[in-house]
Amino acid sequence: MAHRYFTSDITGTTARLTGADAHHLAVVLRARAGEEVTVCDGAGTDYVCRVARADRDEVELEIISSTPSASEPSVEVTLYVGYPKQEKLEHIIQKATELGASRVVPFFSRFCVAAPKNEEKKNIRYRRIAFEAAKQSGRGRVPEVAMPLTFDEALRDAASCGVVLFCDEAGGAPLHSRLGDAAKSVAIITGSEGGFSREEAQKAAEAGFAPVGLGPRILRCETAPLAALSVVMALTGNLQ
């Protein structure tokens, strides 16, 4: 398999890699002129490229062909995740990227164990995790990792999606019954370690988000969003 890199430095028939990617290709892999690599622009297009010049600080590539990325799902899924402990959120971001999520939006709710602290700095790390996971898994886009919202802000943000799945540990309708065959944008809302308060569940219901269940077992906060995302991808034909 050709090595794969993301870059926005694409002009005409030339693409360039700089920094760590250039060093990896030129020094670690010892790329030589004429070798082929795959470059993605991060917006859903893949480019087959040929190495024209490889230095440790910059690699110049000749674009041979371009195609829409075959790895991007047909449905845009945003995960709204009740803010867990940092290592759990990092796990969710990594695996959600692999599974095809478009966005990950953490939010703080009543029973969150974690408290807001150094969120701008953390977000840099979270976005890097998404970037590396997208590169490793062959994605055509790097999912957005948003800055944390409040619970009310998350509900308002999710309202722009065509289908909203409010996953409540108290149960609800089967997930598949809420999805529909023509879903193009889906919001999945899951709770933190402490779950949702009944007041929060009521607010979601008043916003028009009927609860869905994920089976008879209680799933951990890092399991629920990935389980729901996997079900959505399977039901929409994106795990075939």
231 pLDDT exceeds 50? yes
Q: Extract the tokens encoding 91.
A: 């796990």
Q: Which structure tokens are listed for 180?
A: 């529909």
Cα gap 240→225, rounded to integer Å: 20
The Cα–Cα gap between 96 and 98 comes to 5
Residue ending a domain, among 50, 68, 86, is: 68
Segment holding 225, helix H or strand E: helix 224-235
Grade residue 181 by pLDDT with cuts at 50, 70 and 90. low
Residue 58: which domain range? Answer: 4-68
Both 114 and 201 in one domain: the answer is: yes
Quote the pTM value. 0.88
Q: 1-5, 134-138, 220-224: lowest mean pLDDT where? A: 1-5
Residue 175 sits in the same domain as residue 208: yes
Strand positions, DSSP E, the chain: 4-6, 10-11, 14-18, 36-40, 45-54, 58-68, 76-82, 103-108, 144-145, 149-150, 163-167, 173-174, 185-190, 211-213
Same domain, 105 and 190: yes
